[in-house]
């Protein structure tokens, strides 16, 4: 028959083999029922022993609870891939975020609240994040300005607060993109009152062409086949170019 008063003297332990995983707290409700709870710090399949005292197990013990990884812990989550260290202006680059719980165990389910921003000198660039449904997230962005930028990756949780993942903010070295002829600059020749460039017959004039990409970033490597000539006049004159 069901007991209607407390005092049963129950004890419980959660074990992983011979190792105790955590304490099991038992509250006597004084009506024949007992409220029990535990907070496992690690995931796994464990054995739960419940008994009167230490030597009289209750029916069906041991139980085998399965503890899944908890929600993400921001400082335990990690990122890897080319996009956390380098990028090329005007080209999409990616990286992968791996979510982990407070024990450092990788989470195998999606649903995390993750945001990321590239702090480009031209203005903040949001990072697109796709949930892969397995605890990992694919992130992509397109930088605009050559130089160094900062990339932040933030995880927001209910139990573990909001914070940067491990290694964030990342320093991104952004190189110039591919050459864009419409953005090339040249200087070194005088202009007349109508803004036309002036050269003097019989003299040698010099000017400089600066190669740039589609975002007006100066290219820092050579190798382009740049040629020039003066035409549409009395005579065609070749322009010697030096890389």
Mean pLDDT of 17-37: 94
Q: What integer pLDDT is reported at residue 197 of this predicted model?
A: 85
pLDDT at 100: 95
Q: What end-to-end distance do the CA atoms of the chain give, in Å?
A: 97
Burial 35-74 (b: 16+ CB within 10 A, else e): eeebebebbeebebbbbeeeeeeeeeeeeeeebebbbbbb
The band of 196, judged by pLDDT with boundaries at 50, 70 and 90, is confident
pLDDT in tens, 161-173: 999 999 999 999 9
Distance CA 108, CA 136 (A): 8
* pLDDT for the residue numbered 54: 67
Cα R_g (the chain), whole angstroms:
34
* CA atoms of 187 and 23, how far apart (whole Å): 76
pLDDT tens digits for 74-101?
Answer: 999 999 999 999 999 999 999 999 999 9
pLDDT in tens, 209-220: 999 999 999 999
């Amino acid at each position: 028959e069901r007991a209607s008063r407390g005092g049963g003297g129950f004890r419980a332990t959660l074990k992983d083999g011979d190792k105790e995983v955590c304490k099991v707290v038992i509250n006597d409700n004084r009506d024949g029922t007992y409220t029990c709870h535990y907070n496992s710090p690690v995931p796994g399949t464990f054995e739960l022993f419940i008994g009167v005292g230490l030597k009289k197990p209750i029916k069906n013990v041991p139980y085998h609870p399965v503890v899944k990884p908890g929600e993400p812990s921001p400082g335990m989550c990690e990122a890897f891939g080319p996009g956390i260290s380098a990028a090329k202006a005007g080209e999409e680059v990616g990286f992968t975020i791996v979510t982990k719980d407070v024990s450092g165990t990788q989470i195998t389910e999606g649903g995390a609240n993750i945001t990321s921003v590239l702090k480009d000198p031209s203005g903040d660039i949001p990072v697109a994040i796709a949930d892969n449904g397995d605890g990992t997230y694919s992130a992509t962005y397109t930088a605009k300005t050559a130089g160094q930028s900062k990339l932040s990756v933030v995880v927001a949780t209910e139990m573990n607060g909001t914070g940067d993942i491990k290694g964030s903010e990342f320093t991104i070295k952004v190189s110039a993109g591919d050459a864009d002829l419409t953005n090339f600059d040249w200087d070194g020749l005088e202009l007349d009152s109508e803004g036309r460039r002036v050269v003097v017959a019989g003299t040698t004039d010099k000017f400089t062409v600066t190669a740039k990409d589609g975002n007006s970033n100066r290219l820092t490597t050579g190798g382009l086949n740049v040629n020039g000539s003066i035409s549409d006049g009395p005579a065609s004159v070749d322009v010697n170019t030096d890389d």
